[in-house]
């Protein structure tokens, strides 16, 4: 029996995740659900092949895609310029089956900035001389690949879904998270925000990893709006991970 490479393992796990979440149902107030692992699959695979081809020391885990980030380019915290120019990923991106008129998918042509992505990738770019050096020991993933929107276009995060919908979604995403840990063998899983940390703790209980957290870079977080990079760096230093 042939053994999968690290890249093959993470790509196959992502494909299983995409298929599993596409079979889930979500009721109002959610009216539109985007799965960038479907319409931005080429970009996502390019990211995995480039950046998840070997074991990592640290995996940063976000919650789910933002409408101007991973929803556009298929890469977690997907600020277009950072993903294209620093990470080095660029590919043709399709459209979701049901597109919200207020949340069009424009792929790498999207002119809107994803503030969370700009802050997070900016932190990494300031700290590491190149993306290749960053990805030697680090990787960035999302817990849930889906974007949820209400009729108004308002974003709805996974933690705001009804309990029954959350349970079905978590069963799938927890399984994928464990597959990611098996494939990349991280020493540390770092939740980007409290929700991601809580899902790591639930999904990876008993697995041989250490768990930490950094501040979420969202502009909805008052603490992140003043010196996010400094605060996140201090949190990583307190864990003994960064000098």
Kindly report, residue by residue over 93-113, the tens digit of the pLDDT: 999 999 999 999 999 999 999
β-pairing verdict for 188-192 and 58-62: parallel
C-alpha span between 243 and 238 (Å, rounded) = 9
Backbone φ, ψ for residue 62 (5° rounding): -90, 180
pLDDT at 3: 85
Kindly report, residue by residue over 45-69, the tens digit of the pLDDT: 999 999 999 999 999 999 999 999 9
pLDDT at 2: 60
57 CB-near residues (< 8 Å, 6+ apart):
137, 138, 186, 187, 188, 241
Q: Which pTM value belongs to this model?
A: 0.97
**Architecture field, domain 6-238:** 3-Layer(aba) Sandwich (3.40)
Kindly report, residue by residue over 121-134, the tens digit of the pLDDT: 999 999 999 999 99
């Amino acid at each position: 029996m042939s053994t999968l490479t690290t890249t093959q393992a993470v790509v196959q796990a992502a494909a299983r995740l995409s298929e599993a979440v596409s079979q889930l149902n979500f009721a109002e107030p959610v009216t539109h659900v985007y799965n960038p692992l479907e319409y931005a699959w080429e970009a996502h695979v390019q990211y995995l092949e480039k950046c998840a081809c070997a074991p990592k020391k640290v995996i940063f885990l976000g919650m789910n895609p933002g409408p101007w980030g991973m929803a556009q380019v298929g890469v977690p915290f997907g600020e277009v310029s950072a993903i294209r120019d620093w990470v080095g990923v660029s590919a043709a991106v399709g459209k979701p089956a049901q597109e919200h008129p207020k949340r069009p998918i424009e792929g790498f042509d999207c002119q809107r900035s994803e503030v969370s992505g700009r802050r997070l990738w900016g932190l990494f770019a300031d700290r590491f001389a190149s993306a290749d050096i960053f990805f030697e020991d680090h990787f960035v993933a999302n817990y849930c690949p889906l974007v949820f929107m209400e009729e108004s276009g308002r974003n709805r995060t996974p933690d705001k879904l009804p309990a029954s919908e959350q349970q079905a979604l978590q069963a799938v995403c927890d399984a994928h998270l464990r597959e990611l840990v098996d494939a990349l063998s991280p020493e540390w899983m770092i939740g980007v925000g409290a929700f991601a940390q809580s899902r790591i703790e639930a999904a990876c209980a008993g697995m041989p990893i250490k768990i930490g957290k950094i501040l979420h870079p969202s502009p909805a977080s008052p603490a992140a709006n003043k010196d996010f990079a400094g605060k996140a760096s201090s949190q990583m230093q307190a864990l003994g991970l960064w000098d």
